[in-house]
């Protein structure tokens, strides 16, 4: 499988709620159908990662891939914009 390349990168490192959710909503609004958004954060934003997942599910936006680095706790989520 080829590596997916994001059209938009949303880095929430260092941000606390509600900023990550605001950035998530803005990213979904900003992108067009089939564009890929990559959200990244660290172990300190673990709660935000979970909230982003719930927000994307609520907005019916497909999550393509999620990954957490077991040694550092850094994580990313790839979402593919879907117009509903």
The whole-number pLDDT of residue 3 equals 75
Domain topology for 8-80? Translation Initiation Factor IF3 (3.30.110)
> What is the distance between the alpha carbons of residues 70 and 49, in angstroms, rounded to a whole number?
15
The whole-number pLDDT of residue 22 equals 96
Q: What integer best gives the mean pLDDT of the chain?
A: 93
Mean pLDDT over residues 54-73, rounded? 96
Residue 3 burial class via C-beta count within 10 angstroms: exposed 0-12, middle 13-18, buried 19 and up: exposed
Please determine, for residue 30, whether its predicted confidence score (pLDDT) is greater than 80: yes
Mean pLDDT over residues 71-80, rounded? 96
Q: What is the pTM of this model?
A: 0.92
Please report, for the chain, the start and end positions of each structural domain, with discontinuous segments joined by +: 8-80
């Amino acid at each position: 499988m080829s590596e997916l390349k994001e059209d938009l990168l949303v880095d929430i490192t260092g941000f606390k709620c509600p900023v990550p959710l605001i950035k998530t909503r803005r990213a979904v609004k900003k992108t067009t159908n089939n564009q890929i958004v990559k959200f990244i954060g660290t172990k300190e934003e673990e709660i935000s990662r979970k909230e982003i997942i719930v927000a994307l599910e609520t907005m019916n936006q497909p999550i393509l891939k999620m990954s957490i680095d077991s040694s550092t706790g850094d994580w990313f989520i790839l979402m593919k914009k879907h117009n509903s």
